[in-house]
């Protein structure tokens, strides 16, 4: 079914009006147009095995304040993603366009003194339940069975509240990894945990620290064999991806800088390292300076999807897991790949 250029689908999980959006939400109709700003930069022939030479970067929707945290939901055949300042989760489905899936998404209180109150990173737990990093409520939560309320997964470390959990992923066993920078911490509240942490919540309920030395840990993803956890650092003085080798019990064996983006930052490319995903061959697809960088398993920069915008996060999706979705500031983009995504 084709839709008109502007789509505000009538079905929502919570009945809300799109009155607070910074601009009209527009949803493109199929066939989806080529994005006017985005191009592909090819730095290594190996990229040809990942992205076809004639591939088109499609523009699916726009008008968001700051789009973030996409996750493909197989049960719905749809993509969910956050708009952090607007405290919403949106839903995009081929042939139906954009609708509001959840509001509020990250702050359920009455007064918030800040600008990043909503949900950020989204994922599915092993049972397929939507799990959210909630800035305003300062916790990792899951959507309850009623589709409107939330259940706390974790909100404290050693009795102290998190600042604003940002991104997250589960391993196949159900252990949860997440980051906790202060981006969503309200201005009238003090940080309780004295570091910006990367955490692991085990299936046994034990919460441990993966890393505490990063000033702004952001995106997090696991390698295909789940022996390495990648963490994006969005601190301006630390523009890199770190790799943490894991022991069998989930503790850290060693760490290293997997990719240093300092040279790209010096070129004036927009955006910092943020969300990241891994494909079936171990390549790392990470948002960063210029858009999305595609890195080999050894950390070699193969090329970039230059989105023309600061780009927050990304996810593989569709039934074959061979479409790469990007939340790029005000826009939602996608590109077909020649490789499948790994994990969620």
Per residue in 201-236, pLDDT (tens digit) is 999 999 999 999 999 999 999 999 999 999 999 998
Instruction: Count other Cβ atoms within 10 Å, centred on residue 300.
Output: 13
Joined tokens for residue 158: 């050693």
The residue extents of the domains of the chain are 26-336
Q: Looking at 182-239, which runs of residues are DSSP E strands?
A: 197-201, 207-211, 217-222, 228-233
The helix (run of H) or strand (run of E) holding residue 66 is none
Reduced to 3 DSSP states, what percent helix, strand and coil does the chain have, rounded to the nearest 5?
5, 40, 55
pLDDT tens track for 295-320: 999 999 999 999 999 999 999 999 99
The residues, any chain, with a CB within 8 Å of residue 49's CB and separated by 6 or more, are 338, 339
Cis preceding-peptide flag for 4 (omega within 30 of 0): no
Radius of gyration, alpha carbons of the chain: 19
Identify the band that residue 2 occupies on the pLDDT scale cut at 50, 70 and 90: very low
Please state which of the four CATH numbers 3.40.50.2300, 3.20.20.70, 2.120.10.30, 2.30.110.10 is assigned to the domain occupying 26-336.
Answer: 2.120.10.30
Identify the band that residue 22 occupies on the pLDDT scale cut at 50, 70 and 90: low
């Amino acid at each position: 079914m084709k839709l008109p250029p502007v789509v505000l689908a009538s079905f929502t999980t919570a009945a809300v009006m799109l009155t607070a959006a910074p601009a009209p939400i527009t949803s493109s109709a199929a066939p989806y147009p080529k994005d006017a700003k985005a191009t592909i930069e090819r730095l290594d022939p190996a990229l040809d095995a990942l992205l076809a030479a004639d591939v088109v970067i499609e523009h699916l929707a726009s008008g968001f304040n700051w789009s973030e945290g996409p996750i493909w939901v197989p049960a719905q055949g749809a993509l969910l993603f956050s708009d952090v300042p607007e405290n919403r989760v949106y839903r995009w489905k081929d042939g139906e366009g954009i609708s509001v899936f959840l509001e509020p998404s990250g702050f359920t209180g009455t007064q918030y003194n800040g600008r990043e109150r909503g949900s950020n990173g989204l994922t599915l737990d092993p049972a397929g339940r939507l799990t959210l990093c909630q800035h305003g409520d300062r916790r990792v939560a899951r959507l309850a069975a009623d589709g409107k309320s939330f259940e706390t997964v974790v909100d404290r470390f050693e009795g102290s509240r998190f600042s604003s959990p940002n991104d997250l992923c589960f391993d196949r066993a159900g252990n949860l990894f997440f980051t906790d920078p202060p981006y969503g911490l309200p201005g009238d509240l003090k940080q309780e945990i004295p570091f910006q942490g990367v955490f692991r919540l085990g299936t046994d309920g034990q919460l441990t620290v993966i890393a505490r030395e990063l000033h702004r840990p952001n995106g997090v993803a696991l390698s295909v064999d789940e022996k390495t956890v990648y963490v994006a650092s969005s601190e301006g003085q630390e523009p890199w991806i770190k790799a943490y080798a894991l022991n069998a019990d989930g503790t850290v064996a060693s760490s290293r800088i997997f990719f240093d983006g300092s040279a790209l930052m010096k070129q004036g490319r927009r955006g910092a390292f943020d969300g990241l995903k891994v494909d079936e061959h171990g390549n790392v697809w990470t948002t960063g300076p210029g858009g999305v960088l595609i890195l080999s398993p050894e950390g070699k920069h193969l090329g970039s999807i230059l989105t023309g915008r600061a780009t927050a996060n990304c996810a593989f999706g569709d039934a074959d897991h061979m479409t790469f979705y990007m939340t790029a500031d005000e826009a939602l983009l996608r590109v077909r790949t020649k490789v499948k995504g790994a994990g969620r």
